[in-house]
Chains A and B, each alone.
Chain A
């Protein structure tokens, strides 16, 4: 039978993968992928603890977190499209100035 510790360990693994992607990748879209993986690891923890403690707050917080992550992705991809239009590149090292 599954236990809480399994889910927490899996969330740690996903979190480490997300940190790796955020550090190594210079492609803006891949950095958004990493952020999504980290956010999902956090949500997994929330729901696992909610199940263990029999408390609906964890699930509620996970639902709000998922909705906020969707908004964040929409704005992030909009910014990437603008940056691509300005620099013809989605490498974050090429984004040198904030001037439009």
Chain B
């Protein structure tokens, strides 16, 4: 059974995820997403994996949330406020949500996972040093590939967002 800390963090996470999707202003939505990601980092801490939690905070709260907020600022506000939402589509979405929730929860709760012996965290936690050692030995090539992917995506995003018309005008002025 879950303890009080788990329940409060899960209410925070799920609530701010709903806020991120349902609030009218997109900036508040971005902040809601950031709080939800902080909640997930809290779960990682509850699971005795502080390294993943710190990584989650650095990447999601530090980078992704700031990136989203900057994009929201760049996009004209009028486009953000116009909510074109179909009531029928919303009802269909809620039905889909309940079907997914009911179906997969029933599947999980009737499976062998809901076993009092297996479900307990009775094994020792994973040492951070072991993760670091594996990351530079067995997963070394993957780490290099990941670095190349990140560099490529950043360069790609820069190339996508540059404006050739303004650059040409500046060259003519020079």
Q: Are A70 and B85 interface neighbours, CB within 8 A?
A: no
Q: Are B18 and A17 interface neighbours, CB within 8 A?
A: yes
Instruction: Produce 1/0 per residue, B86-98, CB < 8 A to A.
Output: 0001101110111
Q: Are B67 and A37 interface neighbours, CB within 8 A?
A: no
Contact of A53 among B90, B123, B163 (CB under 8 A): B123
Q: Could you tell me the dominant secondary structure of chain B's interface residues?
A: helix
Total count of chain A residues near the partner, CB < 8 A:
72
> Taking the complex as formed, is A74 at the interface, i.e. its CB lies under 8 A from any CB of chain B?
yes
User: Which residues of the other chain, A, contact B52 by a CB distance below 8 angstroms?
Assistant: 43, 47, 59, 62-63, 66
User: Which residues of the other chain, B, contact A8 by a CB distance below 8 angstroms?
Assistant: 108, 113
Contact of A26 among B84, B101, B120 (CB under 8 A): B84
Total count of chain B residues near the partner, CB < 8 A:
87
Chain B residues in contact with chain A, CB under 8 A?
Answer: 1-3, 6, 10, 13-14, 17-18, 20-21, 26, 29-30, 33, 36-37, 40, 43-44, 46-49, 51-52, 55-56, 59-60, 63-64, 67-68, 71-72, 74-76, 79-80, 82-85, 89-90, 92-94, 96-98, 100-101, 104-105, 108-109, 113-114, 118-121, 123-126, 130-131, 134-135, 139, 142, 146, 149-150, 152-154, 156-158, 160-161, 163
